[in-house]
């Protein structure tokens, strides 16, 4: 998959969303191309170059029936990992991404006293803003608009000090797109005990596997809290590193995503392609 500029990603994301919303109708290439104002040949080349698979193949991977199959397969993987002492594939992500919670003072005071370094970098899914304290990554989001991304960071830590510079934490975080699992990535996050528990549970979902909100709630011992779990999944402050994109509805419907639904579908399709 190539590193994409934001305009190209926006076109591909729009095409992906159209494919997903009209999957039952099996739209052909010309129909999808018309929706994003490209000729079919141009869309085919751009889509293949960006995603590494054809629109038709993408359509196969994002159908609701395939998502349901993935949910069932994921449950089997989770059961196998549990039987093996939680040392199976479900723990691979957890082995290299670690969460350290902020102190109550840091949490309540909007990051007062924290010095946060932030950096913009290109990824296959568009530009990314990554921010880190002296202890680890505290914020990561897709930055389709730089100013809006910076505003979101400042709103998360209104009383912190900010410096635009790149450091080792930023570089480690960006490895998730090129060499996942190749090094430790410490996260330094503010959150309630419930939020931290949900985010920790998300780390146990391996690439190519999916979880439903209800199943995730059961995993943390709160089977009746699926709605609260959904809210916490949606407030995940670090895109991709904590894989909230791997949680979908029981029905197999992908659902929304804090950083654009087309991006979530693209992330899942690529992972499912690799797991096929």
Residues designated as active site = 244
Cα distance between residue 108 and residue 121, in whole Å: 30
Rounded to whole angstroms, the Cα distance separating 51 from 2 reads: 8
User: How many whole angstroms separate alpha carbon 190 and alpha carbon 12?
Assistant: 33
DSSP string, the chain: -----HHHHHHHHHHHHHHHHTGGG---HHHHHHHTT--HHHHHHHHHHHHSS-HHHHHHHTSHHHHHHHHHHHHHHHHHHHHTTS-SGGGHHHHHEEEEEPPHHHHHTTTTT-EEEEEEEEETTEEEEEEE-SSSEEEEEE-SSHHHHHHHHHHHSTTSEEEE---HHHHHHHGGGTSTTSS-EEEEE---HHHHHHHHHHTTS-TT--EEHHHHHHHTT-TT-HHHHHHHHHT-SBTTTS-GGGEE-TTS-----TT-HHHHHHHHHHHHHHH-
- Burial pattern 235-258, b for ≥16 Cβ within 10 A else e, equals ebbbbbbbbbbbbbeeebebeebb
């Amino acid at each position: 998959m190539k590193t994409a500029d934001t305009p190209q990603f926006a076109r591909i994301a729009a095409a992906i969303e159209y494919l997903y919303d009209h999957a039952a109708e099996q739209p052909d290439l010309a129909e999808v191309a018309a929706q994003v104002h490209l000729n079919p040949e141009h869309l085919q080349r751009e889509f293949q170059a960006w995603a590494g698979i054809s629109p038709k193949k993408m359509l196969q991977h994002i159908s609701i029936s395939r998502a349901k199959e993935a949910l069932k397969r994921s449950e089997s993987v989770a059961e196998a990992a549990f039987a093996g002492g939680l040392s199976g594939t479900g723990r691979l992500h957890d082995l290299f991404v670690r969460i350290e919670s902020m102190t109550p003072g840091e949490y309540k005071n909007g990051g007062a006293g924290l010095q946060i370094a932030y950096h913009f970098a290109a990824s296959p899914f568009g530009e990314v803003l990554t921010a880190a304290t002296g202890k680890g990554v505290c914020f990561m989001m897709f930055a389709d608009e730089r100013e809006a991304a910076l505003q979101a960071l400042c709103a998360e830590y209104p009383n912190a000090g900010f410096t635009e510079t790149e450091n080792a934490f930023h570089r480690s975080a960006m490895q998730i797109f090129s060499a996942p699992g190749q090094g430790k990535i410490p996260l330094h996050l503010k959150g309630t005990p419930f939020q931290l528990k949900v985010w920790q549970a998300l780390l146990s979902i391996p690439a190519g596997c999916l979880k439903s909100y209800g199943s995730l709630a059961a995993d943390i011992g709160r089977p009746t809290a699926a709605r609260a779990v959904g809210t916490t999944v949606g407030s995940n402050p670090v895109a991709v590193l904590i894989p909230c994109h791997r949680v979908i509805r029981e029905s197999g419907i992908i659902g929304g995503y804090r950083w654009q639904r087309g991006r979530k579908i693209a992330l899942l399709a690529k992972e499912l392609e690799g797991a096929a």
